[in-house]
C-alpha cells in the first residue's frame, strides 16, 4: 500500500491556525505513507495537478487529503483521482477546516487535533477497496400526485417536453383549491378563466394519462424505476361513457351537502363537481345515495333514477375498486393543502354560528358559479350583508392551536375579498382585524393599499376576543392595539382567514414515498435554500403548498421547477447508482433476516445458496446506503461499502491510541 | 395422576408423529438431570420430572435456516418438554421467525419451582448428595455427611421465586393442571441495589467478575437467542470487533456485546448464568436489560408471538424517551 | 471575556471525545458551526457516518473500551432522517445503551445522543461546549477498566 497525503493551506484558512508543515512532516513518518506534502490550495487547478502528478509518479494507491469538509470537495477530488486511472473510492478527506482550524484559536491544540484527524483518516483509507457504481435504465415516465395548479403546471410542462405523464387526483376532477376561488390577487383576474384552459389542456393532452378519484396505494422501487399502485375508488359511473350532461344530477332525489361549495347550498348524491370540471363526469357519493343506503339496510329500493335517465348507460352500481400499476422514473408530489378548521376557536363560536364562515366558503359566495350565483347572501337568512368583518390569522401564528407559522396567503386574500365585497355590494362596509400585514411580493403592497383606499376596507390592528350573536347580527369585540382601546363592530357576516395546513392524508403518502415531513405535516424539501423542490429521496420532487403555505404564482413556479428537474433526470438513458451500498457476505449470513425487516427501502431479498441455505442479499441498485441493516446484523455479515465496521473500528482505535 | 405419568402417556401418544421427544432423565446424581432424547417407546420409562429439571430445551430447536447441517435435518419434527419460562424463549424465536411452529410439538409443563444449585451449595455440601425431599415449603436434604432442613424460598432460582409465567404461554398439550404464578415484585432487587453503588464500585466489581471469565462461550452456547453459531462476532476476524486475548477488558467487552445483542430479546431464562463454569452473575447483566426494556418500551420478551421485538421497530413519538 | 471563550480556554486536558455524526444533518451542522467560526473546545473528534441508524451500539461500547472519555452521537431530528427512519431505530438502541453502560461501570453522562440539523451550527457549538464541560467534570474514564 502506498499512501499519498496532501494537506491544504486553504490560504490562511487552515494554515493560519494549523501548522500544516508540521502535520505533513509528522504524517510522512507514518507507516505506508510514501508521499506527504502541503499545498496552498488543493482544490485549485494547480493543486489538483500536483495531486494527479504525484499519484502517477509515486504510484500512489491510497489518497488522503486534509482540507475542508468532504461535503465541499469530495466530488472534486474524486474526479481528479479518477483521471489518473486510480479508483476514486481509494480516497478519503480529513476535515481540518470546518472541524478544526475554523473553530479553534490555539495553534498547538489545533495542530495536534489535525494530526489525530489525519491519523484517523489514514487508518480508514488503508481499509478502502476499489468500488464501482452500477448503471440502471431509466423509465421515462413521470407520476404526478395531485391535480391542483402546481400538479397541472408540472404535468403540462412535462408533457410538452415530450414525456409521458400519469396525473393522479383524489377528487373526481382536477383543479384543486384554485378551482374554488372566485378571483385572484393581486390582479383580480377570474380564477377559473385562467385555470380552466390549463385543466382542459391537461385533460386532452395525448401525453397525459389522467386518473381521477384515485389515490396512491403503494410505492416501491427507486429513482429511475418506481413501481406505483394506484387505487381507483369506485365512482359508480363509467367515466369512459359519461358525457357530463348532468341530467342524472338534476333528477337525483337524494340531497347531499355540496362539497365543492363547502356545505353552502345543496348538492345531490350524484354530482358533477362544477361546470368546468375535467373530466366532466358524474360521481355517486355512496353514503347519500338512496339505492346504496337501502342496500345497506337490507331493503331493496329500486330508486336507481340516475341509471334510468342516463342516455349513455354510464351509471353502473357494480363498479368495484380498481388497482392500476404504473411504472415511472420520477414522482412529483403536489398534494396541496387544506384549510385550518376554525371550530377549535370557541371565541369565534366554535363553528356554531352560520354567519361566521371560512374564507374559502366566502369565495364560493363571491363566485358567479357558486351556490348564490355570485350574490353575497349570508348563510343564515340569505340577507345581503351590510357590514362584513374579516379576521386574520385563524390557525396561523397562534401557538395556542399549535400553528406558530404564518400561512403567507391570508393577508392578501383578505384584501382581495374586501375589494370584491365592495365591488359586489358598493354600499357595504368592511373591517379587517389583522396582526401584521404581510404583502411581500411583486405588486402585493400596492394591492393592499388598493383595498384600504379604493375599497375603503378599515384595517384594525388587533385580535378579536369574542364574537356573539345579537339582534340577528353578530357582535365582534376586539381590541385596537394601535389606539389601545376596545372595539365593537356590529357585523352581518364574519369571514375568517383560515390558515394553511398540510393536506389530509399527506403524511401517510409521505410514508409511502419514504420522504420526511415536518412537525406540521408539510413535506420536507431537500435543502431549505438550494434544493427547494427536491426531496432527500432521489427521484421524488415537491411542488406547491404540500411543502409549505404558498400562493398561486409560487405554486406554478414550483410546478415548472419540478418539471425542469425531472426532465433533466429523465433525459438520461441510464443512471449511475452510488457504490456506497450494503453487501451481504453470504458465507457468513446466518439467515435471520433482521436486515430485511428493518430496511426502509425493501432493498434486501432472500436468496438460496447452492447448499440449500437461505440467506439475505442486497439489491445494490435499490440500496440507499443508510447502513441500518449493517447495525442490525447480529453476526456482522453485512458491510456498508465506504463505511465498513472495520473502517469505523480502525478510526476509533486510531483516535484512542 | 402424577404430572410425570401424564407426560409419559402424552409422549407415547405423540411419538409416532415425531422423530424424537426431548425430555429429562436421571443424570450422574439426583441434582443433575440430563436432557434425554426419546425416539423409541421403551425409553419413555426413563423420563423424569422434578425440581432439578432445568435445561431450556428451546436451545435445541432447529437452528437458523442458514445451517442445514446443524443438529437436526431440515424436515425433522420433534417434540419437547417446555416449562413456562422456556415457552417464552420459544415465542421469542417464533417472533424472530427463526423457528417454524409446524416443526415441533410442545409438551407444556406447568412448573412449581426449580432449585438453584449455586444457592443450595451455599447451604450444604452437595457433592455427597443422597436425597432431596420437598415437604410443604421446606426441603429435607441428606448427604453422606449431614442432614438439613432448608426453606425452599432460600434455594429457588430467582426466576422461580418471582415466577410470573409458571405455565407455558404456548403449547400443544398442557401436562397436568396449571400452577399459580408468583408475584414479580422484587425480581429486580439485585439490579436495583447494584445501580445504587458508586461507579468505582461497579468497575471493580465487574473487573473481579470478568477477570475469571475463560471465554469458554458456554453462556453463548446455552442461550437460545445466541444462534449466530460459528459466525459469532466474538471470533470473527473480519470485521475484527474484538481480540482473542484474555485481557479482562476484552472479556468485559465480549460479555457486554453478547448481552446487548439480547437487548429486547432476553426472556431472563437464566441459562447463561447457570452454565457459567466460573460463576459470573451474567443474569444480573441480562436483568438490567430486561428491566430497561420494560421501563422504556413496556415490553416483555417472548410473551406475545405477534409483537415485534422493541429494537426491531420504533414509534415516531416514543412514550418513555426524551 | 465571554463565557464561551472562558469555556474554551484552558483545554489542555487529556480528555478524548469521539462523536459519530450522520452525513446529512449533524455533520453538516458541525460544518455550519465551522463556517460561522463558532469556537469550540478541541477535545472532540468527529467520525462521519451515513446515518445514526448505521451506529451499531457496539461502536460507542468499543470506543469506551478503547479509552474514549466520552462518546456523542448526533443525527437528523426525528421525522427528518435522510433515510426516513434510521434515527428512530437509533433512538431506541442508544437509549437502552445509555442505561446499560452505566450499569457496566461507564457513567451514562459520558454518553449522549442528540439531533442537530445542518442549519443548527449554534446548537452544535453549545452542545459541544456543554458536553466537553460535562466530560471534564467526570474526568478521564475509570482507569481500572483498562
pLDDT at A186: 95
pLDDT at A518: 81
pLDDT at A266: 87
Lowest mean pLDDT across A539-553, A610-624, B105-119 = A610-624
Q: Which residue of C has its CA nearest to B196?
A: C103
pLDDT at A263: 87
Residue B66's pLDDT band, with cuts at 50, 70 and 90, is very low
pLDDT at C146: 42
What is C14-138's CATH number?
Answer: 3.40.50.960
Give the dihedral sign, CA A34/A37/A43/A46: negative
Is the N-terminal amide bond of B239 cis, ω within 30° of 0? Answer: yes
The boundaries of every CATH 3.30.70.20 domain in chain A are 578-641
pLDDT at A178: 97
B204 in contact with C, Cβ within 8 Å: yes
The nearest CA of chain B is from the CA of A61 a distance in Å of 22
Q: Which of B65, B240, B308 sits opposite A591 (nearest CB)?
A: B65
The nearest CA of chain B is from the CA of C57 a distance in Å of 8
Compute CA A640 distance to the chain's CA centroid, rounded to the nearest angstrom: 29
| A561-to-A165, A544, A556, A557 alpha-carbon distances in Å | 16, 10, 8, 6
Between chains, do B311 and C78 touch, taking CB under 8 Å as contact? no
Element (H, E) at A419: helix A410-424
CA–CA distance, C142 with C137 (Å, rounded to integer): 13
Which ranges constitute the DSSP H helices of A161-254? 191-204, 247-251
pLDDT of A648 strictly over 50: yes
| Residues whose CB falls within 8 Å of the CB of residue A197, separated by 6 or more in sequence, listed in order | none
What are the DSSP E strand ranges found in A446-522? 458-461, 464-470, 473-480, 485-491, 493-498, 500-502
- Topology at the third CATH level for domain A141-233+321-336+503-570: FAD/NAD(P)-binding domain (3.50.50)
Between chains, do C96 and B257 touch, taking CB under 8 Å as contact? no
Q: Which of A97, A636, A648 sits opposite C34 (nearest CB)?
A: A97
Q: What is the DSSP string of C84-113?
A: SSHHHHHHHHHHHHHHHHHHTTS-GGGEEE
Between chains, do A628 and C46 touch, taking CB under 8 Å as contact? no
CB < 8 Å to A640, chain B: none
pLDDT of A70 strictly over 70: yes
Q: What angle in degrees, to the nearest 10, is found between the helix axes of A410-424 and A444-453?
A: 40
Between chains, do A98 and C34 touch, taking CB under 8 Å as contact? yes
How far from each other are the two terminal CA atoms of chain B, in whole angstroms?
Answer: 55
CB < 8 Å to C23, chain A: 71
Between chains, do B98 and A634 touch, taking CB under 8 Å as contact? no
How far from each other are the two terminal CA atoms of chain A, in whole angstroms?
Answer: 22
pLDDT at A458: 96
Q: Which of A95, A537, A627 sits opposite C53 (nearest CB)?
A: A627
Backbone angles phi, psi at A490, to 5 degrees: -90, 110
Between chains, do A613 and B66 touch, taking CB under 8 Å as contact? yes
CA–CA distance, C20 with C60 (Å, rounded to integer): 9
| Residue (of B119, B117, B59) closest to B83 by Cα position | B59
Between chains, do A635 and B67 touch, taking CB under 8 Å as contact? no
pLDDT at A538: 86
CB-based burial of residue C77 (10 Å sphere; 0-12 exposed, 13-18 middle, 19+ buried)? middle
Q: Which residue of A has its CA nearest to B309?
A: A594
Q: Which of A97, A106, A649 sits opposite C42 (nearest CB)?
A: A106
pLDDT over 70 for what percent of chain A?
100
CA–CA distance, C134 with C139 (Å, rounded to integer): 9
Write the ipTM.
0.93
A589 in contact with B, Cβ within 8 Å: yes
* pLDDT tens digits, one per residue of A509-519: 998 897 878 87
The nearest CA of chain A is from the CA of C60 a distance in Å of 9
CB < 8 Å to A634, chain B: 228, 233, 261
The nearest CA of chain B is from the CA of A519 a distance in Å of 11
C85 in contact with B, Cβ within 8 Å: yes
Between chains, do C100 and B249 touch, taking CB under 8 Å as contact? no
DSSP label at residue A97? I
pLDDT at C100: 98
The nearest CA of chain A is from the CA of C42 a distance in Å of 7
pLDDT at B72: 47
Mean pLDDT of A122-137: 95
Give the dihedral sign, CA A259/A265/A266/A272: negative
How far from each other are the two terminal CA atoms of chain C, in whole angstroms?
Answer: 39
| Residues whose CB falls within 8 Å of the CB of residue C23, separated by 6 or more in sequence, listed in order | A71, C48, C49, C50, C51, C82
Backbone angles phi, psi at A196, to 5 degrees: -55, -45
Mean pLDDT of A15-44: 97
Q: Provide the number of CB pairs (under 8 Å) joining chain B to chain C.
A: 87
CA–CA distance, A81 with A69 (Å, rounded to integer): 17
Residue B68's pLDDT band, with cuts at 50, 70 and 90, is very low
The nearest CA of chain A is from the CA of B271 a distance in Å of 20
Residues 13-42 on C with a CB inside 8 Å of B are none
| Residue (of B193, B233, B215) closest to B280 by Cα position | B215
pLDDT of A575 strictly over 60: yes
Q: Which of A99, A631, A656 sits opposite C66 (nearest CB)?
A: A656
Q: Which chain B residues have any C-beta within 8 angstroms of a chain A C-beta?
A: 64-68, 74, 96-98, 227-229, 231-233, 236, 238-241, 261, 308, 312
pLDDT at B74: 60
CA–CA distance, A91 with A74 (Å, rounded to integer): 9
3-class DSSP string for A4-61? EEEEECCCCCCCCCCCHHHHHHHHHCCCCEEEEEEECCCCCHHHHHHHHHHHHHCCCC
The nearest CA of chain A is from the CA of B211 a distance in Å of 23
Q: Average pLDDT of chain B?
A: 93
CB < 8 Å to B285, chain C: 103-104
* pLDDT tens digits, one per residue of A244-270: 999 999 999 999 999 899 988 889 999
| Residues whose CB falls within 8 Å of the CB of residue A471, separated by 6 or more in sequence, listed in order | none
Residue C4's pLDDT band, with cuts at 50, 70 and 90, is low
The Cβ of residue C137 has, within 10 Å, a number of other Cβ atoms equal to: 8
- Cβ atoms of residues A388 and A421 within 8 Å: yes
Mean pLDDT of B192-220: 96
Between chains, do C53 and A71 touch, taking CB under 8 Å as contact? no
Lowest mean pLDDT across A98-102, A259-263, A483-487, B167-171 = A259-263
Compute CA C26 distance to the chain's CA centroid, rounded to the nearest angstrom: 10
Lowest mean pLDDT across A22-31, A638-647, B154-163, C134-143 = C134-143
The nearest CA of chain C is from the CA of A105 a distance in Å of 8
Mean pLDDT of A428-450: 96
CA–CA distance, B15 with A312 (Å, rounded to integer): 70
Between chains, do C100 and B259 touch, taking CB under 8 Å as contact? yes
pLDDT of B70 strictly over 50: no
A637 in contact with B, Cβ within 8 Å: yes
The nearest CA of chain C is from the CA of A159 a distance in Å of 30
Break chain C into its structural domains and give their ranges.
Answer: 14-138
Q: Which residue of A has its CA nearest to B233?
A: A635
pLDDT at B73: 55
The nearest CA of chain B is from the CA of A639 a distance in Å of 9
The nearest CA of chain C is from the CA of B195 a distance in Å of 6
* pLDDT tens digits, one per residue of A80-125: 999 999 999 999 999 999 999 999 999 999 999 999 999 999 999 9
C54 in contact with B, Cβ within 8 Å: no
- Topology at the third CATH level for domain A578-641: Alpha-Beta Plaits (3.30.70)
CB < 8 Å to C34, chain A: 69, 97-99, 102-103
| A124-to-A94, A119, A277 alpha-carbon distances in Å | 10, 9, 61
| Residue (of B59, B62, B55) closest to B97 by Cα position | B62
Mutate to test the interface with B, among A635, A648, A654 (most CBs of B within 10 A): A635
pLDDT over 90 for what percent of chain B?
88
A3-125: which CATH architecture?
3-Layer(aba) Sandwich (3.40)
Between chains, do B204 and C144 touch, taking CB under 8 Å as contact? yes
CATH class for domain A338-501? Answer: alpha beta
A505 in contact with C, Cβ within 8 Å: no
pLDDT at B139: 96
Chains that touch B (3 or more CB pairs under 8 A): A, C
Between chains, do A652 and C68 touch, taking CB under 8 Å as contact? yes
Chains that touch A (3 or more CB pairs under 8 A): B, C
pLDDT at A613: 82
Q: Which of C78, C92, C100 sits opposite B260 (nearest CB)?
A: C100
A107 in contact with C, Cβ within 8 Å: no
pLDDT of B61 strictly over 90: no
For residue A240, how many C-alpha atoms fall within 13 Å in the half-sphere facing its CB? 2
The boundaries of every CATH 3.50.50.60 domain in chain A are 141-233+321-336+503-570, 338-501
Q: Cα Rg for chain C, rounded, in angstroms?
A: 15
* pLDDT tens digits, one per residue of A466-475: 999 999 999 9
Residue B106 β-bridge partners: B80
pLDDT at C143: 58
Q: Which residue of B has its CA nearest to A596?
A: B312
Q: Which of A69, A643, A649 sits opposite C54 (nearest CB)?
A: A643
CB < 8 Å to A106, chain C: 11, 42
pLDDT of A461 strictly over 90: yes
Q: Average pLDDT of chain A?
A: 95
CA–CA distance, A49 with B79 (Å, rounded to integer): 72
Between chains, do A637 and B231 touch, taking CB under 8 Å as contact? yes
Amino acid at each position: 500500500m502506498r499512501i499519498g497525503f496532501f494537506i491544504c493551506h486553504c490560504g490562511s484558512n487552515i494554515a493560519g491556525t494549523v501548522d500544516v508543515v508540521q502535520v505533513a512532516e509528522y504524517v510522512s513518518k507514518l507507516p505506508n505513507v510514501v508521499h506527504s506534502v502541503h499545498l496552498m490550495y488543493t482544490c485549485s487547478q494547480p493543486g489538483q495537478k500536483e495531486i494527479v502528478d504525484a499519484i502517477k509518479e509515486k504510484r500512489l494507491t491510497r489518497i488522503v487529503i486534509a482540507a475542508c469538509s468532504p461535503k465541499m470537495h469530495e466530488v472534486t477530488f474524486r474526479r481528479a483521482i479518477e483521471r489518473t486511472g486510480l479508483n476514486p473510492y481509494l480516497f478519503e478527506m480529513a476535515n481540518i477546516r470546518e472541524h478544526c482550524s475554523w473553530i479553534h484559536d490555539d495553534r498547538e491544540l489545533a495542530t495536534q487535533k489535525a494530526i489525530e484527524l489525519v491519523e484517523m483518516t489514514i487508518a480508514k483509507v488503508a481499509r478502502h477497496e476499489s468500488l464501482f457504481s452500477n448503471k440502471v435504465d431509466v423509465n421515462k415516465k413521470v407520476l404526478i400526485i395531485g391535480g391542483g395548479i402546481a400538479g397541472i403546471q408540472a404535468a403540462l410542462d412535462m408533457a410538452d417536453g415530450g414525456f409521458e405523464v400519469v396525473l393522479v387526483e383524489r377528487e373526481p376532477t382536477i383543479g384543486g383549491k384554485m378551482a374554488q376561488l372566485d378571483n385572484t390577487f393581486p390582479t383580480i383576474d377570474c380564477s377559473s378563466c385562467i385555470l380552466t384552459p390549463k385543466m382542459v389542456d391537461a385533460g386532452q393532452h395525448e401525453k397525459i394519462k389522467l386518473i381521477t378519484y384515485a389515490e396512491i396505494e403503494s410505492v416501491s422501487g427507486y429513482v429511475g424505476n418506481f413501481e406505483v399502485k394506484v387505487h381507483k375508488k369506485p365512482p359508480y359511473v363509467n367515466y369512459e361513457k359519461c358525457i357530463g350532461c348532468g341530467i342524472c344530477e338534476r333528477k337525483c332525489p337524494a340531497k347531499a351537502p355540496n362539497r365543492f361549495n363547502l356545505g353552502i347550498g345543496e348538492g345531490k348524491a350524484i354530482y358533477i363537481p362544477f361546470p368546468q370540471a375535467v373530466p366532466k363526469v358524474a360521481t355517486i357519493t355512496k353514503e347519500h345515495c338512496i339505492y346504496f343506503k337501502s342496500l345497506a339496510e337490507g331493503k331493496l329500493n329500486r330508486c336507481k333514477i340516475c341509471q334510468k335517465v342516463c342516455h349513455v348507460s354510464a351509471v353502473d352500481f357494480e363498479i368495484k375498486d380498481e388497482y392500476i400499476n404504473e411504472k415511472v422514473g420520477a414522482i412529483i408530489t403536489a398534494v396541496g393543502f387544506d384549510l385550518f378548521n376554525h371550530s377549535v376557536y370557541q371565541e369565534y363560536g366554535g363553528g356554531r354560528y352560520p354567519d361566521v364562515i371560512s374564507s374559502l366558503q366566502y369565495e364560493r359566495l363571491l363566485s358567479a358559479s357558486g351556490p348564490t350565483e355570485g350574490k353575497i347572501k349570508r348563510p343564515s337568512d340569505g340577507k345581503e350583508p351590510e357590514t362584513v368583518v374579516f379576521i386574520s390569522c385563524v390557525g396561523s401564528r397562534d401557538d395556542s392551536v399549535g400553528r406558530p407559522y404564518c400561512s403567507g396567503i391570508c393577508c392578501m386574500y383578505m384584501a382581495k375579498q374586501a375589494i370584491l365585497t365592495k365591488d359586489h355590494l358598493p354600499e357595504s362596509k368592511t373591517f379587517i382585524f389583522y396582526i401584521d400585514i404581510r404583502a411581500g411580493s411583486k405588486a402585493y403592497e400596492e394591492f393592499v393599499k388598493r383595498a384600504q383606499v379604493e375599497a375603503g376596507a378599515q384595517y384594525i390592528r388587533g385580535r378579536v376576543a369574542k364574537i356573539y350573536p345579537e339582534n340577528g347580527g353578530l357582535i365582534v369585540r376586539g381590541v385596537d392595539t394601535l389606539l389601545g382601546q376596545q372595539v365593537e363592530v356590529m357585523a352581518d357576516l364574519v369571514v375568517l382567514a383560515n390558515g394553511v395546513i398540510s393536506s389530509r392524508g399527506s403524511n401517510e403518502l409521505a410514508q409511502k414515498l419514504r420522504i420526511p415531513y415536518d412537525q406540521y405535516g408539510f413535506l420536507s424539501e431537500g435543502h431549505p435554500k438550494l434544493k427547494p423542490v427536491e426531496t432527500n429521496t432521489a427521484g421524488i420532487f415537491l411542488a406547491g403548498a404540500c411543502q409549505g403555505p404558498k400562493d398561486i404564482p409560487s405554486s406554478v413556479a414550483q410546478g415548472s421547477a419540478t418539471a425542469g428537474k425531472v426532465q433533466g433526470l429523465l433525459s438520461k438513458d441510464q443512471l449511475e447508482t452510488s457504490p456506497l451500498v450494503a453487501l451481504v457476505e453470504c458465507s457468513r449470513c446466518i439467515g435471520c433476516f433482521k436486515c430485511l425487516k428493518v430496511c426502509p427501502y425493501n432493498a434486501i431479498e432472500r436468496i438460496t445458496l447452492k447448499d440449500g441455505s437461505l440467506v439475505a442479499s442486497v439489491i445494490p441498485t435499490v440500496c440507499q446506503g443508510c447502513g441500518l441493516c449493517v447495525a442490525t446484523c447480529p453476526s456482522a455479515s453485512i458491510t456498508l461499502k465506504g463505511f465498513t465496521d472495520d473502517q469505523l473500528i480502525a478510526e476509533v482505535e486510531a483516535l484512542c491510541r | 395422576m402424577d404430572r410425570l405419568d401424564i407426560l409419559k402417556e402424552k409422549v407415547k401418544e405423540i411419538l409416532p408423529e415425531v422423530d424424537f421427544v426431548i425430555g429429562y432423565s436421571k443424570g450422574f446424581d439426583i441434582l443433575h438431570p440430563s436432557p434425554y432424547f426419546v425416539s423409541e417407546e421403551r425409553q419413555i420409562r426413563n423420563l423424569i420430572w422434578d425440581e432439578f429439571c432445568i435445561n431450556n430445551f428451546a436451545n435445541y430447536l432447529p437452528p437458523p435456516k442458514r445451517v442445514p447441517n446443524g443438529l437436526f435435518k431440515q424436515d425433522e419434527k420433534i417434540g419437547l418438554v417446555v416449562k413456562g419460562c422456556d415457552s417464552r424463549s420459544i415465542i421469542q424465536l417464533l417472533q424472530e421467525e427463526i423457528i417454524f411452529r409446524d416443526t415441533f410439538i410442545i409438551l407444556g409443563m406447568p412448573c412449581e419451582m426449580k432449585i438453584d444449585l449455586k444457592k443450595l451449595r451455599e447451604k450444604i455440601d452437595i457433592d455427597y448428595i443422597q436425597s432431596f425431599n420437598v415437604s410443604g415449603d421446606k426441603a429435607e436434604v441428606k448427604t453422606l455427611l449431614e442432614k438439613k432442613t432448608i426453606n425452599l424460598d432460600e434455594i429457588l432460582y430467582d426466576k422461580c421465586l418471582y415466577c410470573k409465567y409458571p405455565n407455558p404461554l404456548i403449547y400443544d398439550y398442557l401436562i397436568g393442571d396449571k400452577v399459580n404464578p408468583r408475584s414479580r415484585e422484587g425480581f429486580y432487587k439485585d439490579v436495583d441495589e447494584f445501580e445504587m453503588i458508586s461507579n468505582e464500585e461497579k468497575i471493580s466489581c465487574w473487573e473481579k467478575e470478568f477477570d475469571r471469565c475463560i471465554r469458554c462461550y458456554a453462556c453463548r452456547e446455552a442461550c437460545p437467542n445466541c444462534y449466530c453459531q460459528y459466525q459469532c462476532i466474538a471470533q470473527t476476524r473480519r470485521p475484527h470487533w474484538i481480540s482473542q486475548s484474555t485481557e479482562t477488558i476484552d472479556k468485559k467487552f465480549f460479555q457486554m456485546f453478547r448481552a446487548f445483542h439480547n437487548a429486547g430479546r432476553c426472556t431472563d431464562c437464566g441459562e447463561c448464568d447457570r452454565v457459567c463454569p466460573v460463576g459470573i452473575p451474567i443474569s444480573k447483566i441480562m436483568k438490567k436489560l430486561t428491566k430497561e426494556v420494560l421501563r422504556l418500551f413496556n415490553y416483555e420478551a417472548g410473551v406475545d408471538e405477534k409483537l415485534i421485538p422493541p429494537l426491531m421497530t420504533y414509534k415516531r413519538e416514543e412514550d418513555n424517551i426524551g | 471575556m465571554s463565557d464561551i471563550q472562558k469555556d474554551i480556554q484552558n483545554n489542555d486536558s487529556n480528555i478524548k471525545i469521539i462523536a459519530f455524526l450522520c452525513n446529512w444533518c449533524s455533520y453538516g451542522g458541525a460544518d455550519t458551526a465551522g463556517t460561522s467560526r463558532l469556537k469550540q473546545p478541541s477535545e472532540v473528534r468527529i467520525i462521519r457516518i451515513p446515518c445514526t441508524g448505521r451506529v451499531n451500539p457496539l461502536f460507542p461500547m468499543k470506543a469506551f473500551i478503547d479509552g474514549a472519555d466520552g462518546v456523542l452521537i448526533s443525527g437528523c431530528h426525528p421525522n427528518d432522517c435522510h433515510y426516513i427512519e434510521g434515527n428512530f431505530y437509533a433512538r431506541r438502541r442508544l437509549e437502552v445503551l445509555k442505561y446499560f453502560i452505566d450499569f457496566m461501570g461507564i457513567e451514562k453522562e459520558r454518553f449522549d445522543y442528540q439531533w442537530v440539523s445542518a442549519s443548527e451550527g449554534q446548537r452544535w457549538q453549545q452542545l459541544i461546549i456543554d458536553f466537553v464541560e460535562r466530560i471534564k467534570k467526570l474526568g478521564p474514564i475509570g482507569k481500572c477498566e483498562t
